[in-house]
Structure 1
Amino acid sequence: MQAQKDKQEGLPHDEPGIKILSNDNPYPSADSQKKQLQPRRLSSYFIVLIESGSITYNLELQDYTLTDGHLLFAMPNQIFTPPAKTDNLKYFKLLFDENTLALLPQQFPFLVNPLNAPTIALDSAAKERVIKIFGILNQILYLDKFETDTEIILAYLNLLLTELNSAYFKNKTSANIFNTNLSKFVEFKLVVETSLTEQPSINAIAEKLALSTNSLYRIVKEYSGTSPKDYFINRLMVEAQRKLRYSGISIKELAYELGFNDPDYFSRLFKKSTGKSASEFFPRHDLSGE
């Protein structure tokens, strides 16, 4: 109902739920950067395109080096560490919230990263088109001194995400980008994210998705290379690492928070999955949001 209401009313210009950064609005001073470059939990979708140069981002405890024509995208609630700007870097960054996404006329399955690759390497033709769209959005959102109709902003955002969705799945799936199996895998990932600490059984997840356990196994194996159970455990352990690294929570408290009744079992599973004991992941930062 709220999404429908938003669609009817449109986004107000002073709070469009979308923001763009580029070389036109450069990095802050070194003192300001120090605070901004701390690990943070995203509150919006985040996309960065490197037009030229090279830079490395850390997303979900993994480093991703981006060069010319490479793009990184992230979802709300993911942890990432923005790097300090490198020399001779030309870039565009885009952030938009769930409410803005709900106003668009179609879905973009790449945003939930079903193929477990949060980067896209654009070919020369796609790179040229995407840079033009980023440039137009940059002009509308940052450079223009006059108000621009929200529908125009949304139209260009929709066009940009359509380009990226196509590039993400290019040569990776059949011509039907959002086929039935992929759709089910996206649904599986969303169930995992929304019920992570409840730790539902694989049978319960399969039933919720109207699949047999064998069908669910085949689909998850196809797109992730692992079984549904191992996928769930791996995702749970990533969440455990994030909380241990970036908050002051104790191992016992963390075990209960993640849905484990036995902290000792959690500790054994953590070590088996990561190769390290939970106590080796010391807290670093207390995240309060983006």
Structure 2
Amino acid sequence: MKKLNIFEASLKKIGLLKVNKDGLEEINSDAYKSYIKILYLSKGCKIKVDFTTYSTEGPSLFFISPNQIFRIEGMCAETGVLIFYNRDFYCIQIHDEEVACDGLLFNNIKNIPVTTVPEHVAVSINHLFAQIEDEFVLQDSSQEEMIRTYLKQILIKSTRLWKQEHLNNAGDEGSNDLEFFRRFTQLVEAHFKAKHSVADYADLMLVAPKTITNKFKRLNLPPPNDVIKNRIILEAKRLLVHTSLTAKEISYELGYEDPAYFSRLFFIKTGESPSGFKNKYLMQSRAKTASPATS
């Protein structure tokens, strides 16, 4: 039986539940879809986030944005932890300057929502999750702020790990480029449906397009034009399989007035037509639903 802890005051809400076979069906449902989520899993789990499947080779932290689709397809032997919260409890934008997480852990350019946790760090991460769980039991007047403090520490440690693993250990010496990278991420996330070129974002950032390209090279990131197009295609995939919109309607939704051009772009990026991708995904999903996740 899963154990669920909830703190709720005014519009602020955060919850913690244990991830095991008993609660897997609910975790894989839409029950927590609207929340920001941090998922802590041990070795041997298999989880699909959007359209990529990850197999954990050790303790791993996953960062799932609101309305982002994920499914645990194979449960590991050890129990995991899921924290879910809304922006009123811990708004990423408000705390962004302190923890440098927006654009790194959630909705990052590389579309990598996971960081592995080395053994020497796993001890402190385990402690922080345990402290949060203890706070749900204590329920005193400082409960909210204590939970927020522990959550912030998890985000800080996770941000450091993510940078070490995915950004060539970018540190203070690359802080300007890193801040630039985060700003670009935020703008793409906000405007990808209307702005499709590097020049569009260069205008917003008051720099030359070549400046963006050069900074991305220094961080070993994909070309910025690929980043923009990949975000558009990711949204197209989501709309294809999770809504009833047609490919033509999706092209308009994503700012393309020529559906044929959009379909060609989708094929170039995925190797499939929009309808072919949707049919293949739905067939695979039905097959997996018929064979539920096991340990």
2:160 is aligned with 1:163? no
Partner of 1:7: none
Q: Which residue of 2 aligns with 1:181?
A: 177
Q: Is the 8 A contact 1:41 1:78 kept in 2?
A: no
> What is the match of residue 292 of structure 2?
none
Normalised by the size of structure 1, how large is the TM-score?
0.80
Secondary structure at the residue paired with 1:71? strand
Deviations, residues 233-279 of structure 1 (Å, cap 9, x unaligned): 12111111111122211111111111110111111111111100111
Q: Given the two structures, how large is their TM-score scaled by the length of structure 2?
A: 0.79
Structure 1 unaligned residues grouped into runs of 5+: 1-10, 286-290
Measured at CA, do residues 271 and 115 of structure 1 come closer, stay the same or move farther in structure 2, by a change above 3 Å? closer
Q: CA, structure 1 residues 134+242, in 2 after alignment: closer, same or farther (shift >3 Å)?
A: same
Query: Given residue 271 of structure 2, which amino acid in structure 1 is its aligned partner?
Result: G
2:103 is equivalent to residue 108 of structure 1: no
Q: Is the 8 A contact 2:46 2:55 kept in 1?
A: yes
| Map 1:21-36 → 2, pairs under 5 A | 21-22=17-18, 28=22, 33=25
- Paired with 1:248 and 1:229, the residues of 2 have a C-alpha distance of 29
Q: Is this contact kept in 1: 2:12–2:86, CA < 8 A?
A: no
- Greater RCO between the two (CA within 8 Å, min separation 6)? 1
Match status 1:217 vs 2:209 = no
Give yes or no for the alignment of 1:62 onto 2:57: no
Q: Distance in 2 between matches of 1:40 and 1:195?
A: 28
1:274 maps to a residue whose letter is T
Contact 1:169-1:177 within 8 A present in 2 as well: no
Q: Which residue of 1 aligns with 2:36?
A: 45
Q: Does 1:126 align with 2:126?
A: no
Residue 71 of structure 2 is aligned to residue 81 of structure 1: yes
Separation in 2, partners of 1:41, 1:229: 33
Q: Secondary structure at the match of 1:101?
A: coil
Q: Indicate conservation of the 8 Å contact 1:56/1:64, yes or no.
A: yes
Cα deviation 1:185-236 (Å, max 9, x = unaligned) = 1111111111111124322211211222111112234446322222111211
User: How many positions carry a matched residue from both structures?
Assistant: 267
Between 179-188 and 204-213, report the one with greater CA deviation: 204-213
Corresponding residue for 1:267? 263
CA RMSD of aligned residues (A): 2.9
Percent identity over paired residues = 22
Instruction: Provide the C-alpha distance between the structure 1 equivalents of 2:159 and 2:110, rounded to a whole number of angstroms.
Output: 12
| 2:16 match: secondary structure | strand
Aligned counterparts of 1:111 and 1:191: Cα–Cα separation in 2 = 16
Give the 3 Å change call, closer, same or farther, for CA 20–12 of structure 1 in structure 2.
closer
Amino acid at match of 1:154: R
For 2:40, the aligned partner's letter is: L
Q: 1:175 to 1:241 in 2, by over 3 A?
A: closer
1:91 and 1:178 map into 2 onto residues whose CA distance is: 34
Q: Partners of 2:224 and 2:213 in 1: how far apart?
A: 6
Q: Distance in 2 between matches of 1:252 and 1:97?
A: 33
Distance 1:162 1:14, change over 3 A: same
Q: 2:240 aligns to what?
A: 244
Is structure 2 residue 142 aligned with structure 1 residue 153?
no
Matched residue, 1:192: 188
- Identify which range, 189-198 or 157-166, moves more after superposition: 157-166
Tell me which residue corresponds to 1:6: none
Give the drift of 1:58: 0.7
Q: Structure 1 residues 131 and 13, CA, compared in 2 at 3 Å: closer, same or farther?
A: same
Secondary structure of 1:198's aligned partner? coil
- Matched residue SS, 2:278: coil
Q: Which runs of 5+ in 2 are unaligned?
A: 1-6, 286-295
Please say if residues 72 and 119 of structure 1, whose CA atoms lie closer than 8 Å, have aligned partners that are also in contact.
Answer: yes
Give the aligned partner of residue 98 of structure 1: 87
Relative to 1, partners in 2 of residues 1:193 and 1:40: Cα closer, same or farther, differing over 3 Å? farther
| Cα distance in 1, alignment partners of residues 13 and 174 from structure 2 | 27
Is residue 46–residue 54 contact of structure 2 (8 Å, CA) maintained in 1? yes
- Which amino acid in the other structure matches residue 249 of structure 2? E
